[in-house]
Amino acid sequence: AQTVTQSQPEMSVQEAETVTLSCTYDTSESNYYLFWYKQPPSRQMILVIRQEAYKQQNATENRFSVNFQKAAKSFSLKISDSQLGDTAMYFCAFTDAGGTSYGKLTFGQGTILTVHP
Amino acid sequence: DGGITQSPKYLFRKEGQNVTLSCEQNLNHDAMYWYRQDPGQGLRLIYYSQIVNDFQKGDIAEGYSVSREKKESFPLTVTSAQKNPTAFYLCASSIGPKGTQYFGPGTRLLVL
């Protein structure tokens, strides 16, 4: 079974600074997808970024980028130029690209990020 | 606008009562999912459906039931057999099993 671990329950950062959130996962699959979702106080789950395991290039989305280390099974999220609106719970998630998982997302426990002015 | 809607936003359940949470999408997605979120935790999969008239149990299906009679709709019923139903329920959809899942705004279920 796949597992996703986020070892940082809480993080804080000053506005305009850079912060990195950690995520590790465990799987025996070779092809899969990884995601970071953001859940602000409204509780709406919002996709931040997606990485396909067969792509070596790290995904980027404006101020958000990932450091994907397949051999180490590590998938960290870097937020540059942090903004107050980035304050949220961030979840790392995994899904198998094939097999019988049928797109099931396995989530980590989440990291609460607070951006201070 | 395309999107996923969930209703109601808040739902109260009495002892022994079944309640149904609505999830509708107009994204023309084939796959739909129900997740449960408990305070301070990640999401856990309750049920999923890859196609109309077909659905499968997720990790925590006991005490829940679903139907998928239309592509756009995937309602979740929380039955009286679910002894700890208080949670936040999120519905998601994707083009297919390899597609990115997009989420609705959620329903908070509370027990009276």
Q: Is A20 exposed, middle or buried (0-12, 13-18, 19+ CB in 10 A)?
A: middle
Mean pLDDT of chain A: 93
Counted across chains A and B, CB pairs separated by less than 8 A come out at 60
Residue A101 confidence (pLDDT) above 70? no
Contacts of A105 (CB under 8 A, 6+ apart): A35, A93, A94, A95, B33, B35, B43, B45, B92, B101
CATH 3.40.50.2000 fits A3-116, yes or no: no
Please compute the mean of the pLDDT values over residues A55-68 and round it to a whole number.
Answer: 94
In angstroms, the first-to-last Cα distance of chain B is: 35
d(CA A87, CA A19): 12
d(CA B62, CA B81): 8
Do the chains contact at A107 and B100, CB–CB below 8 Å? no
Domain locations along chain A: 3-116
Q: For residue range A75-97, list pLDDT tens digits in order.
A: 999 999 999 999 999 999 999 87
What are the chain A neighbours of B105 within 8 Å (beta carbons)?
Answer: 42-44
pLDDT-based confidence at A107, cuts 50/70/90? very high
Q: Give B79→chain A minimum CA distance, Å.
A: 23
d(CA A74, CA B90): 27
Decide: A4 and A93 in contact? Cβ < 8 Å.
Answer: yes
Mean pLDDT of each 10-residue bin along chain B, 112 residues long: 89 90 96 93 92 93 97 96 92 88 95 84
Do the chains contact at B42 and A110, CB–CB below 8 Å? yes
d(CA B98, CA A50): 12
Decide: A8 and A21 in contact? Cβ < 8 Å.
Answer: yes
Amino acid at position B18, single letter? N
Q: E strands along B1-112, which residues?
A: 4-7, 10-13, 19-25, 31-37, 43-51, 54-57, 64-66, 76-78, 87-94, 102-103, 107-111
Decide: A36 and A92 in contact? Cβ < 8 Å.
Answer: yes
Residue A103 confidence (pLDDT) above 80? no
Report the pLDDT value the prediction gives residue B16, as an integer from 0 to 100.
85
Report the pLDDT value the prediction gives residue A100, as an integer from 0 to 100.
60
A42–B contact, CB cutoff 8 A: yes
pLDDT-based confidence at A99, cuts 50/70/90? low
d(CA B80, CA B111): 11
pLDDT-based confidence at A6, cuts 50/70/90? very high
Q: For residue range A42-59, list pLDDT tens digits in order.
A: 999 999 999 999 888 999
> Who among B35, B50, B102 is closest to A102 (CB)?
B50
Amino acid at position B97, single letter? P
Residue A30 confidence (pLDDT) above 90? no
